Structure 1
Amino acid sequence: MTRTTATGIHPLDHLVLPTRSLDEARARLTSLGFVVAPTGIHPFGTENCCVFLADGTYLEPLAIGNQQAALDAAAEGNVFVKRDRAYRDSRGDEGFSAAVLGTDDADADHARYVEAGLSAGDTLSFSRAFTDTSGKSDVASFKLAFASASNATDAFLFACQRINAPKVDRTALQAHANGAFGIVEVVAVSDQPAEQSRLISVAVNDPAAGDEGNAFPLPNATLSVLGAESFTARFGVPAGSSTKLRFMAIVFAVRSADATSSLLAANAIQHDIAGNEIVVRPASGQGAAFIFREVP
């Protein structure tokens, strides 16, 4: 599966949303109108219940399923588990810890991260079972390479190479009642937004990233880094405490804002409407602000 564009710039692959409980995340995401996939179990103590979108991106709510296995994996140097633990220790068990980029060569990404002094640790290869809504199962295999600024615990980025894509039908998993069909923007906050340019440009493999200010265009979405005041002014959501970099909001594309608003109202989900966008503040099981934007 080709994940890197001809220019070499990496697309958005998925987003990691730590949560205390997959049951809580599943209930919240279902009430927001998403179809949630069956639980996926990692071989190192974590587990997820993903939300797949028609544009090929997805959300990964992540919980600790086996505490001892996660502790053992972290002690053995598993960067994914170590960074999840660092995030939870810093921000709590509900949040938005990582933006993940698609790649065809995680080893090459790791080499770039090391050369730039931005590697968060060794690469990680693993496989897990994947099951669709009909119960059909296959094996998904991945290789990950990690990037982070030094001493940063609130956010990291990593490249994900899909070694084996499951041969299952995701159509039913992508038919969301809220009308969401893709992710158009990922929004982070920073005390010094301009200083994030180097980390992000290396992570996405785009030396020119940041030339357009604090918006970093990816092939399939935009990654934006805002100051706290700008973030709150735009979405009406508090930015929280001081941070080098913290992911805060996900902007989904929907066909009809009216239809999405009606579903949220019917499910008693508090939301605010601003122009063609609907803002749902973070809640337990939903670690980020969810913004639904009407896209023709």
Structure 2
Amino acid sequence: MRFSLRMTFLFALLAACCPATFASPASPPAALAMLDHVLLWGRSIDQVTSVMTARLGFQVVPGRNPTGVANRYIRMADGSYIELLGITRSDAAMDPGMLADQASLHGGAGARTFGLRTHALELRREQLAAGGFAPTDVFSASADDPDGDGPGAPPRWRLFAFQRDPLSSHLFFIDYAVLRATPAREADTQVARRHPNGAQAVTAFWLLSADAGADRDRLARMGFAGATPIRFPQLAARGYCIPVDGKRLLALQPD
């Protein structure tokens, strides 16, 4: 994958024939989280879909386009995924996270936001607030979410972000409800996770950092310790590899 300074972070994908060789130490309770997904903007939703399918060999499944921002998904066997985004009209209504992404990307293609999944959302929020990170309130999917189980059921997802970004990239924590199993959902899940290129998991998020050392220190304060120095001569970048539940965050800055 070519390193581009226009991309504010990159992601690494694990193919079926390339098992992970990275092992992380046991995480403390405060650090229990998993790599969940990356938001990847294209110049248009069709352009980014074409790159991911025709050029890179992923299976892309439909999303929705309720307010002028369309999304589609690349879902992996381990539950991680990539969310593709594209603006479809000039008056698109965007949430604060989307607006922050667009401001950072100057309306271009790239990725600025990633999410970590935790099944202890409130506890993680309390820990981070106690550490001075100013998390937002918890937001939930709406009761009439067309992809959820309907009113009266738990919201399909719940998340919190930060009033002030603690890292060079935008970070949020998210948790998901267990949806009712139906034959249609089971079939869709199985099909969506089979990729022509053999990919099975997102194993690392590569963050383009303004200050890799500062990002390492803040991640350690958040409970993600054990960083090791790393350098990629072919990318002219160096920084730190931070273990997260057997996978990796790589905070990299250009040489």
Tell me if both proteins adopt one fold, taking TM over 0.5 as the criterion: yes
SS of residue paired to 1:85: helix
The 1:66–1:57 alpha-carbon spacing in structure 2 relative to 1, beyond 3 Å, is same
Alpha-carbon RMSD across the aligned residues, in angstroms, is: 3.0
Residue type at the aligned position of 1:129: P
C-alpha deviation, 1:10, in angstroms: 0.5
Q: What is the TM-score of this pair, normalised by structure 1?
A: 0.60
Equivalent in the alignment of 1:161 = 175
Equivalent in the alignment of 2:45 = 22
Equivalent in the alignment of 2:205 = 186
* Pair 1:227 & 2:241 matched: no
C-alpha deviation, 1:129, in angstroms: 3.2
Does the 8 A contact of 1:185 with 1:223 survive in 2? yes
Q: What is the TM-score of this pair, normalised by structure 2?
A: 0.68
Does the 8 A contact of 2:165 with 2:171 survive in 1? no
SS of residue paired to 2:141: strand
Residue type at the aligned position of 1:224: L
SS of residue paired to 1:97: strand
Structure 2 unmatched ranges of 5 or more:
1-26, 230-239
Residue type at the aligned position of 2:254: A
The 1:114–1:161 alpha-carbon spacing in structure 2 relative to 1, beyond 3 Å, is same
The 1:69–1:96 alpha-carbon spacing in structure 2 relative to 1, beyond 3 Å, is closer
* Pair 1:124 & 2:139 matched: yes
* Pair 1:90 & 2:104 matched: yes
Equivalent in the alignment of 1:38 = 62
Structure 1 unmatched ranges of 5 or more:
72-80, 131-136, 230-296
Equivalent in the alignment of 1:51 = 74
C-alpha deviation, 1:63, in angstroms: 2.9
Residue type at the aligned position of 2:141: F
Does the 8 A contact of 1:39 with 1:48 survive in 2? yes
C-alpha deviation, 1:188, in angstroms: 1.4
> Equivalents in 1 of 2:73, 2:57: separation in Å?
14
SS of residue paired to 1:83: helix
Does the 8 A contact of 1:149 with 1:199 survive in 2? no
The 1:188–1:36 alpha-carbon spacing in structure 2 relative to 1, beyond 3 Å, is same
The 1:195–1:148 alpha-carbon spacing in structure 2 relative to 1, beyond 3 Å, is farther
State how 1:136-175 maps to structure 2 within 5 Å.
Answer: 141-147=156-162, 150=165, 155-165=169-179, 167=181, 168-169=185-186, 170-175=189-194
C-alpha deviation, 1:40, in angstroms: 3.1
C-alpha deviation, 1:14, in angstroms: 1.0
The 1:166–1:20 alpha-carbon spacing in structure 2 relative to 1, beyond 3 Å, is farther
Of all paired residues, the percent bearing the same amino acid is 23
Does the 8 A contact of 1:109 with 1:145 survive in 2? no
Does the 8 A contact of 2:76 with 2:193 survive in 1? yes
SS of residue paired to 1:195: helix
C-alpha deviation, 1:21, in angstroms: 2.2
